[in-house]
């Protein structure tokens, strides 16, 4: 698999883990540390998928998602939101969109990868 995946989180342990895990599965992984970089790098690289923390300094992942939705070049990129908080606590921040998912930290990497495989075709990835 050679999908391009953008990972955004302000916790370097999380980005390091996801970079190692996803790269080990044959993906190209781009790592950023805040919502501003997320929007910038998504526009620049047009990844097949974005995995983002919701609460980050600068701009939340959910705010960056709103910016991406306004750009024709990035509005169709699937997004997996992650947080240590429960879905119920964050439901108002999360979009109701068939190309988004939520996973709670600590993540089950097998469950995350199942979501990735499900969403990649929506982002233009063709194996």
pLDDT tens track for 29-88: 999 999 889 999 999 999 999 999 998 877 777 888 999 999 999 999 999 999 999 999
Contacts of 37 (CB under 8 A, 6+ apart): 8, 58
Q: Could you tell me which of 73, 80, 2 has the C-alpha nearest to residue 42?
A: 73
| Banded model confidence at residue 91, pLDDT cuts 50, 70, 90 | confident
Q: How much is the pLDDT for 83?
A: 95
The terminus-to-terminus CA distance of the chain in angstroms comes to 7
Higher pLDDT, 102 or 90: 102
Q: Could you tell me which of 117, 106, 95, 87 has the C-alpha nearest to residue 5?
A: 117
Q: How much is the pLDDT for 92?
A: 85
| Banded model confidence at residue 1, pLDDT cuts 50, 70, 90 | low
Q: How much is the pTM?
A: 0.94
Enumerate the β-bridge partners of residue 7. Answer: 31, 51
Q: How much is the pLDDT for 57?
A: 79
Q: Could you tell me which of 61, 63, 37, 39 has the C-alpha nearest to residue 51?
A: 61
Instruction: Please say whether the beta carbons of 29 and 18 come within 8 A.
Output: yes
Q: How much is the pLDDT for 115?
A: 97
**CA torsion sign, 44 to 56 to 89 to 29?**
positive
Give percent of the chain above pLDDT 70.
99
Mean pLDDT of 9-30: 97
Query: Domains in the chain, please, with CATH?
Result: 4-123 (3.40.50.2300)
């Amino acid at each position: 698999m050679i999908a391009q995946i953008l990972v955004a989180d302000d916790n370097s342990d999380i980005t390091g883990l996801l970079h190692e895990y996803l790269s080990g599965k044959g993906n190209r992984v781009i790592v950023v540390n805040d919502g501003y970089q997320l929007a910038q790098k998504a526009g620049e690289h047009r990844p097949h998928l974005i995995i983002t923390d919701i609460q980050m300094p600068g701009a939340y992942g959910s705010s960056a998602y709103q910016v991406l939705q306004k750009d024709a070049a990035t509005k169709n990129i699937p997004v997996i939101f992650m947080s240590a908080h429960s879905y119920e606590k964050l439901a108002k921040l999360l979009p109701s969109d068939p190309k988004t998912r939520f996973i709670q930290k600590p993540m089950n990497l097998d469950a995350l990868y199942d979501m990735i495989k499900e969403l990649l075709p929506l982002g233009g990835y063709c194996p």
